Amino acid sequence: MSSELETPSEGVDESEKRGYEEPEWKNHAKQTDLSELLKDGTKESHDRAENTQFVKDFLKGHIKKDLFKLATTALYFTYSALEEEMDRNKSHPAFAPLYFPTELHRKEALTKDMEYFFGEDWREKVKCSEATQHYVDRIHYVGQHEPELLVAHAYTRYMGDLSGGQVLKKVAQRMLKLPSTGEGTQFYLFENIDNAQQFKQFYRARMNALDLDLKIKEKIVEEANKAFEYNMQIFNELDKAGSLLAKESQDGELPIHDGKGDVRKCPYYAAQQGKGGSHPSPTTSDRVGHLGPLIPWCLLLALPLQVPMRVVLAPSKMSWSY
Of 10 and 47, nearer to ligand HEM (C-beta) is 47
- Selected binder of ligand HEM within 72, 89, 156, 185 (CB under 6 A): 156
- Selected binder of ligand HEM within 102, 129, 231, 319 (CB under 6 A): 231
CB of 108 to ligand HEM, least distance (A): 20
| Residue 155 in contact with ligand HEM, rule: CB under 6 A | yes
Taking the CA atoms of residue 285, residue 287, residue 289 and residue 292 in that order, the dihedral angle to the nearest 10 degrees is 80
| Residue 82 in contact with ligand HEM, rule: CB under 6 A | no
- Selected binder of ligand HEM within 160, 194, 246, 317 (CB under 6 A): 160
Of 140 and 200, nearer to ligand HEM (C-beta) is 200
CB of 220 to ligand HEM, least distance (A): 12
Of 109 and 152, nearer to ligand HEM (C-beta) is 152
CB of 168 to ligand HEM, least distance (A): 7
- The 29-68 contact track toward ligand HEM, x by CB under 6 A, reads ---------xx------x--xx----x---x---------
Judge whether 36 and 204 are in contact, CB under 8 Å: no
Read off φ and ψ for residue 239, nearest 5 degrees: -60, -45
Alpha-carbon span 276 to 236, nearest angstrom: 21
DSSP 231: H
Judge whether 26 and 33 are in contact, CB under 8 Å: no
Alpha-carbon span 237 to 245, nearest angstrom: 12
Of 188 and 269, nearer to ligand HEM (C-beta) is 188
Q: Give SS3 for 193.
A: coil
Please give the radius of gyration of the chain, using alpha carbons only, rounded to the nearest integer.
21
- The 163-182 contact track toward ligand HEM, x by CB under 6 A, reads xx------------------
Alpha-carbon span 228 to 245, nearest angstrom: 25
Those residues whose C-beta lies under 8 Å from the C-beta of residue 268, and which sit 6 or more positions away, are 130, 240, 296, 297, 298
- The 188-227 contact track toward ligand HEM, x by CB under 6 A, reads ------------x---------------------------
Instruction: Report how far apart the first and last C-alpha atoms of the chain are (Å, whole number).
Output: 24
Identify the helix (H) or strand (E) that includes residue 312: strand 311-312
Contact region with ligand HEM (CB under 6 A), list: 76-84, 158-166, 175-183, 253-261 = 158-166
DSSP 313: P
| Residue 228 in contact with ligand HEM, rule: CB under 6 A | yes
- Three-class SS of 175-190: HCCCCCCCCCCHHHCC
Render the burial of 136-146: b for 16+ CB within 10 Å, e for the rest: bebbeebbeee
| Residue 118 in contact with ligand HEM, rule: CB under 6 A | no
| Residue 131 in contact with ligand HEM, rule: CB under 6 A | no
| Residue 79 in contact with ligand HEM, rule: CB under 6 A | no
Judge whether 188 and 321 are in contact, CB under 8 Å: yes
The residue among 72, 157, 79 whose CA lies nearest residue 113 is 72
| Cβ-proximal residue to ligand HEM, closest one | 160
Contact region with ligand HEM (CB under 6 A), list: 19-27, 157-165, 172-180, 255-263 = 157-165
Judge whether 28 and 22 are in contact, CB under 8 Å: no
CB of 200 to ligand HEM, least distance (A): 6
Give contact residues for ligand HEM (rule: CB under 6 A). Answer: 38-39, 46, 49-50, 55, 59, 155-156, 159-160, 163-164, 200, 228, 231, 322
